[in-house]
Structures are given as structure tokens and as C-alpha cells.
């Protein structure tokens, strides 16, 4: 299996200058081939890669860059173009590729060669061709037997440098079980982030303090003279506040998704179109902060890693249909309790949706419905779990 492991780098001042110099040269190369793409007939990925040796003859500084990484720059341009085309063919509105400004091109990749992770006097270091050896803060070990296939070096807006290791383990993912003994359906929301069929309701993460600090940092930034040293320093402070928000949110999502993937044989969720939901007139900020799309992506790959069935179902009417008899009852969003007029079944609206999600998920994989339906179990009283508890006592983050 393939995984990405992200580590913070601890470059010296000399290494920082070298990394920034290389990053900007790769950006210039990207823009050069972007210009050729728009103005040269017959420009293709392989034709442009074959142009690199001749370009080095008149662009001498390119000899300071690793040749395979230069090829990756060309591949990156055409990969971006291909993704835009796929999105357009899928009917989505897309823009055009753009010229990369110095602050917009933040990473470059070493693939297969020119990279080595080794231990020097007890300190893990990453050796990159044409750059040197950079200390790495290895907060967790790479699995035994794993091979380092590629490294992406990235500079964050906070001016910190990170290395994303692409590793490959020799083991295949576990076989998914044929007999499902522990299954769960999950309904995601805003006030309660996740409501599942085990009777657990996980509260949303409270980031109000972090948002307040971000607001104050942005206000101070707006008062600085544009382009001054104080302006640039405060710009980094704003970036740090954004990074703080992102890191706490992703830590919560990693631990929550890890729990569901490890503790169950099947996880059923709704196939949510998060981008489309952001177009609604109200509450878009809370929808964006919930990061449902990120949660589902994390949950999917962790289920694959743990040998757990991951099933996505059509979310239509999951909150309106009675989980006991299937009768649809239209209710406004602010009504949080479901009372079925046909069979008298009563439940929390999110808990009812979680049961509908689970039943549809089980039907999709062909194992039928759970042995005990909500009407028979009377839906056990929900256990409300604080998001803080998930962060503090959850299993390891990745």
C-alpha cells in the first residue's frame, strides 16, 4: 500500500536560501513551459521534456537543479491541464491555467532518485541531490519494510518547510470481512458533527478562540503599510493563525475517522457534494468549517487500510424517511425530532438519518438489513461525546 507521511524540516539558513532559490527556479521553468503551451504548436509533455537538455545550454543556472525534478515540473503542468479537462468534461465550471507568481508556487518533488533518508549521529536527515542534507523532525517512525518512493518539499505560508514522504509498504491491505458483525451508519452535521447508529453523537470542534485570534491578526495586518517589513511580519502571523485552525481541525478529523475505520467492519456514509452545498444562501461558513469532504476522504483511505467496508449512499431523503416504516415526512430543517405519523416511531432526526444511511449501505453491499431495526431497539439514548475528548484521547492521528 502507498501512504504519505508529512514531517517538518529544520533547515539551516544556508539551506533555506538554497531551497527558496530552487523553488523559484522551478516556478520560472513552470511559467516558461506554460508560455510554450499557449504559443507553440504541437507542444506535448514528452516533446517538452525532451527540450530540457537544449534549454540548459542557454539557461546555465538550471544546471544547479536536479534533472529528474525538472522533468516533474513539466509533468506537473500537464497534470494540471488534464485535471481541468476532466472537470470540464464532468460538467463543472472551471477556469484556465494561470501564470505562477512567486508566492503561488510552493513545492517541488523528487521522485524515485536523488533522495535518501538516513540517520546521522542519531539525527534523521533527508539528503536531496543538489541541495544537501536537511534535518527532519521524525515525530513518528516509518513502517518497517517501507520504501521511500518520492519526497515533495513544500514551503508553507508560515515560512516553515515540510517534507511529504511517499512510501510504499510490502503488505497488501487486509481482506474485507464477508460476515459483518459491527456496522455503523454516520450522519454528519454542524451542531453535532457526527451522529451514528451506535447511539453516539460527537459534538463539533469549538474553534472560536482560534477564529478570534485570526480576526485580531487580520485587523492588525490591515493597519500596516503595504509592502513594509511590519506588513510582511504580520502577514506571517496571519498565516500562522490560519495554520493553527487547519491543524486543529485536521487533527480532530484524523482521530475521528481513525476510530470509525478501526472499530467497525462496515462504515456507511452519505455521498455529499461539499462544493455544491457551499453554494447555498445561508450557513456556508459553518459548512466550510465542518470540512465534510475532508472527513469522508480521510475515512475512505483509512477504511481501505484497515480492511473495512466503506460505502457511500445517495443522501436523498435520509432525514425525512422514517427508519422504521419508510414513510416520508416533510419537515423544516429547524425541527430536530422525527415523529412518524404512520407508525408512531419517534427519534432524533440525525439518529433516524444514520439508521437510513446504514440500511441503504447494507443493501448496497448485498448483506441485507441489520438484525434489530430502530423500532425494535427503541434507539438507545444518545451518548454525546465532546470534540475535545476526541482530540485528547483519540487514537493516533494518521
Q: Percentage of residues in the chain with pLDDT exceeding 90?
A: 48
pLDDT-derived band at 281 (thresholds 50, 70, 90) equals: low
**DSSP 8-state secondary structure symbol assigned to residue 205:** P
**DSSP 8-state secondary structure symbol assigned to residue 61:** G
pLDDT-derived band at 221 (thresholds 50, 70, 90) equals: very high
Q: Quote the pLDDT of residue 259.
A: 92
Nearest CA among 312, 238, 304, 234 for reference residue 270 = 312
**Whole-model pTM?**
0.82
pLDDT-derived band at 237 (thresholds 50, 70, 90) equals: very high
26 neighbors 65 (Cβ within 8 angstroms): yes
Least confident window among 63-67, 157-161, 221-225, 353-357: 353-357
In this structure, how many other beta carbons lie within 10 angstroms of the beta carbon of residue 218?
Answer: 14
- What domains can be seen in the chain, in order of their start residue? 2-168 (no CATH), 183-205+255-393 (3.30.420)
> Concatenated DSSP letters for 335-358?
--EEE-TTT--EEEHHHHHHHHHH
Cell reading at 4: 504519505
In this structure, how many other beta carbons lie within 10 angstroms of the beta carbon of residue 323?
Answer: 25
- Determine the Cα–Cα distance for residues 149 and 132; give it in Å rounded to an integer: 18
- Determine the Cα–Cα distance for residues 188 and 291; give it in Å rounded to an integer: 10
Helix axes 13-39, 67-89, angle to 10 degrees: 50
Most confident segment among 69-73, 337-341, 351-355 = 69-73
Q: Quote the pLDDT of residue 303.
A: 92
Q: Is residue 392 pLDDT above 70, yes or no?
A: no
Q: Tell me the average pLDDT across 98-107.
A: 92
Q: Tell me the average pLDDT across 79-95.
A: 87
- Determine the Cα–Cα distance for residues 324 and 339; give it in Å rounded to an integer: 11
Q: Tell me the average pLDDT across 80-108.
A: 89
pLDDT-derived band at 126 (thresholds 50, 70, 90) equals: very high
pLDDT-derived band at 373 (thresholds 50, 70, 90) equals: low
Which is more confident, 40 or 246? Answer: 246
Least confident window among 7-16, 141-150, 328-337: 328-337
Q: Is residue 347 pLDDT above 60, yes or no?
A: yes
Q: Is residue 376 pLDDT above 50, yes or no?
A: no
Q: Is residue 333 pLDDT above 90, yes or no?
A: no
Which SS3 state, helix, strand or coil, does residue 175 take? Answer: coil
232 neighbors 208 (Cβ within 8 angstroms): no
Q: Quote the pLDDT of residue 283.
A: 64
Please report which residue ranges of 95-228 form alpha helices under DSSP H. Answer: 208-222
132 neighbors 114 (Cβ within 8 angstroms): no
Q: pLDDT tens for residues 174-192?
A: 888 888 888 999 988 888 8
H and E: helices and strands count for the chain: 12, 15
Q: pLDDT tens for residues 258-277?
A: 999 999 999 999 887 766 66
Q: What's phi and psi for 13, nearest 5 deg?
A: -60, -40
Q: Quote the pLDDT of residue 329.
A: 73
Q: CA torsion angle for 209, 211, 214, 215 (degrees, to 10)?
A: -110
Amino acid at each position: 500500500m502507498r501512504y504519505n507521511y508529512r514531517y517538518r524540516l529544520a533547515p539551516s539558513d544556508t539551506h533555506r536560501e538554497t531551497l527558496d532559490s530552487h523553488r523559484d527556479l522551478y516556478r520560472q521553468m513552470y511559467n516558461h513551459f506554460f508560455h510554450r503551451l499557449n504559443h507553440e504548436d504541437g507542444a506535448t509533455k514528452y516533446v517538452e521534456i525532451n527540450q530540457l537538455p537544449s534549454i540548459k545550454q542557454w539557461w546555465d543556472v538550471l544546471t544547479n537543479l536536479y534533472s529528474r525534478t525538472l522533468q516533474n515540473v513539466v509533468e506537473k503542468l500537464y497534470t494540471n491541464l488534464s485535471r481541468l479537462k476532466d472537470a470540464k468534461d464532468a460538467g463543472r465550471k472551471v477556469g484556465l491555467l494561470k501564470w505562477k507568481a512567486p508566492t503561488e508556487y510552493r513545492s517541488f518533488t523528487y521522485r524515485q532518485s536523488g533522495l535518501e533518508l538516513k540517520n546521522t549521529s542519531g539525527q534523521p536527515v533527508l539528503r536531496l541531490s543538489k541541495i544537501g542534507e536537511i534535518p527532519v523532525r521524525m515525530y513518528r517512525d516509518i513502517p518497517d519494510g517501507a520504501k521511500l518512493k518520492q519526497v515533495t518539499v513544500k514551503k508553507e505560508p508560515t515560512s516553515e518547510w515540510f517534507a511529504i514522504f511517499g512510501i510504499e509498504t510490502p503488505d497488501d491491505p487486509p481482506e474485507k470481512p464477508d460476515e459483518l458483525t459491527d456496522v455503523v451508519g454516520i450522519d454528519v452535521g454542524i451542531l453535532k458533527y457526527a451522529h451514528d447508529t451506535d447511539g453516539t453523537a460527537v459534538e463539533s470542534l469549538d474553534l472560536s478562540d482560534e477564529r478570534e485570534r485570526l480576526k485580531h491578526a487580520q485587523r492588525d495586518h490591515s493597519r500596516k503599510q503595504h509592502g513594509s517589513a511590519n506588513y510582511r511580519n504580520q502577514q506571517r502571523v496571519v498565516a500562522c493563525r490560519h495554520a493553527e485552525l487547519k491543524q486543529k481541525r485536521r487533527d480532530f478529523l484524523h482521530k475521528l475517522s481513525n476510530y470509525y475505520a478501526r472499530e467497525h467492519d462496515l462504515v456507511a456514509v452519505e455521498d455529499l457534494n461539499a462544493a455544491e452545498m457551499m453554494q447555498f444562501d445561508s450557513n456556508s461558513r459553518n459548512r466550510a468549517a465542518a470540512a465534510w469532504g475532508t472527513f469522508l476522504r480521510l475515512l475512505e483511505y483509512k477504511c481501505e487500510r484497515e480492511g473495512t467496508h466503506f460505502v457511500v449512499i445517495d443522501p436523498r431523503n435520509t432525514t425525512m424517511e422514517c427508519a422504521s416504516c419508510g414513510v416520508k415526512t416533510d419537515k423544516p430543517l429547524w425541527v430536530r425530532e422525527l415523529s412518524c405519523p404512520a407508525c408512531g416511531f419517534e427519534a432524533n432526526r440525525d439518529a433516524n438519518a444514520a439508521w437510513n444511511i446504514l440500511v441503504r449501505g447494507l443493501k448496497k453491499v448485498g448483506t441485507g438489513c441489520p438484525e434489530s431495526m430502530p423500532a425494535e431497539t427503541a434507539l438507545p439514548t444518545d451518548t454525546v461525546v465532546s470534540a475535545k475528548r476526541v482530540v485528547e484521547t483519540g487514537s493516533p492521528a494518521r
